[in-house]
Amino acid sequence: MNGFQMLRAATVNEAASLLQEHQDAQLIAGGQTLIPSIKHGLARPAVLVDLARVEGIRGIIVGAKNITLGAMTTHAEVAASADVRRVMPALSALAGNIGDRMVRNMGTIGGAVANNDPAADYPAALLALNATVQTDRRKLSAAAFFVDMFTTALEPGEIVTSITFPLGAFAAYEKFRNPASRYAMVGAFVARDNGEVRVAITGAAGVVFRFTAMEEALRKSFTAQTADSVVLSADGLNGDMHASAAYRAQMVTVMTSRAVTAVGRLQ
Amino acid sequence: MTSISMTVNGRKVQASVADNKLLVEFLRKDLGLTGTHVGCDTSQCGACTVEVNGSAVKSCTCLAVRADGATITTIEGVAAPDGTLHPMQEAFREHHGLQCGYCTPGMIMSTIDLVKHRPDVSEAEVREAMEGNFCRCTGYQNIVDAVCAAAGKMKGAGK
């Protein structure tokens, strides 16, 4: 594995100054994507700034109108939280199905969000639930945050500190998992809030996106039958050794329909 | 190089390690604890699973420097000091939950973690929860039998 120097930060400010001092530095959160990437030579950072001991960016806070997850909160902690299960069961289930139990013990929401893997689960939840990404500099809406494949609106040296999800929506997430990597070949996060319906799709394209034609149809009639009748064009979708673009387009409808059924059961 | 100290299987260890040294390399090469295996080295197979601060993790995807200060248990630290096997080890033996045995240390470390967190785990849940451990001999049936049997005993013993 390529060599690098590891620097530990104790506070967000210290992490920010270390990033400024070392222009070729990269943050490490849980490391479940970054370490394999370094092994494969896909990332070659000279310096890693370790967020593991940074205070105040780990933990779950449930408020009256929202829930905030510190950036260094692991998937296992989110999945095990009785608070998360009570106020947002869809998020709890999503976290409990990321990777496998060992990966969930290390991987973090902040790392997952900042990495913006096109097949990651959390971006779909953030987009469908209108979450806000808090950084050390500003707040960003999920819609503004996820820009493109492995690309976010984060500026150089900017650090994700927490994610806030508004409460109130009925929501469900369904994914078709790659049986080896456990990433979403296609994942659909459906959120229904009063008359509003949002459908976010991950795994199907270069970056998470809202399936607006599906949303419009579901706004008029929120049923699995309606979802089954809305088909996404395969143009521009991912096609690879695991699934063709046409197959993924079909899975978008299937996963959305299952999520709609699951939301229906909640209401 | 960074100076680190940790407790491994109840023993305090101190070392100076390269920042890019993986935890699994540290355990195997520096400490000689070769019971922890490297299967895929890509975070998929789970042969390298160890317990760090009470949670099972894949030591091929952890850096040794980040385990500074941690309490670690490897397969060598699972049995009682007098050699009495842990109920999970005993169940793997009793149910012949192995073929070549290469994946076994990781299977045991990950399922001890599973049963500790979910004492009432069902057989279906065991199958689902073991998705991060591969047995390339495909001897899963006896492995699942072993885990279910051990879960019952661990619950009884309050372990």
Alpha-carbon separation of residue A162 from A34, B26, B109 (angstroms): 19, 33, 32
Q: Does the domain at residues B2-76 carry the CATH identifier 3.10.20.30?
A: yes
DSSP B101: -
The shortest CB-CB distance from B132 to any of A3, A52, A101 is to: A101
B43 contacts on A by Cβ (under 8 Å): 32, 35-36, 103
Q: Does the domain at residues A170-266 carry the CATH identifier 3.30.420.40?
A: no
B→A interface, C-beta within 8 Å: 2, 18-20, 22, 41-44, 46, 49, 55-58, 61-63, 65-66, 110, 113-114, 117, 129, 131-133
Q: What kind of fold does domain B87-157 have according to CATH?
A: DNA polymerase; domain 1 (1.10.150)
Q: What is the per-residue pLDDT for B158?
A: 60
Domain ranges of chain A: 5-50, 60-166, 170-266
Nearest CA in chain B to A99: B132
Continuous segment of H or E residues that includes residue B3: strand B2-8
Which tokens in the block code for residue A26? Answer: 């990269």
Q: Quote ipTM for the complex.
A: 0.95
A6 contacts on B by Cβ (under 8 Å): 2, 19, 63, 65-66
Per-position pLDDT tens, chain A of length 267: 889 999 999 999 999 999 999 989 999 999 999 999 999 999 999 999 999 999 899 999 999 999 999 999 999 999 999 999 999 999 999 999 999 999 999 999 999 999 999 999 999 999 999 999 999 999 999 999 999 999 999 999 999 999 999 999 999 999 999 987 889 999 999 999 988 999 999 999 999 999 999 999 999 999 999 999 999 999 999 999 999 999 999 999 999 999 999 999 998
Backbone φ and ψ for B90, nearest 5 degrees, come out as -60, -40
Domain ranges of chain B: 2-76, 87-157
Chain A, residues 86-105, CB within 8 A of chain B, namely 99-103, 105
The whole-angstrom separation of Cα B103 and Cα B111 is: 12
Of the candidates B107, B118, B117, B116, the one whose C-alpha atom is nearest the C-alpha of residue B144 is B107
Give me the CATH code for the A60-166 domain, please.
3.30.465.10
Inform me whether the pLDDT recorded for B159 exceeds 70: no
- Residue given tokens 């650090």 in the structure block: A159
Strands A66-70 and A184-193: unpaired
In CATH, the architecture of A5-50 is 2-Layer Sandwich (3.30)
The shortest CB-CB distance from A6 to any of B57, B63, B113 is to: B63
Q: A123-136 as b/e, with b when 16 or more CB fall inside 10 Å?
A: bbbbbbbbbbbbbe
Average pLDDT over residues B64-86: 97
Q: Could A103 and B62 be called an inter-chain contact, meaning their C-beta atoms sit closer than 8 Å? A: no
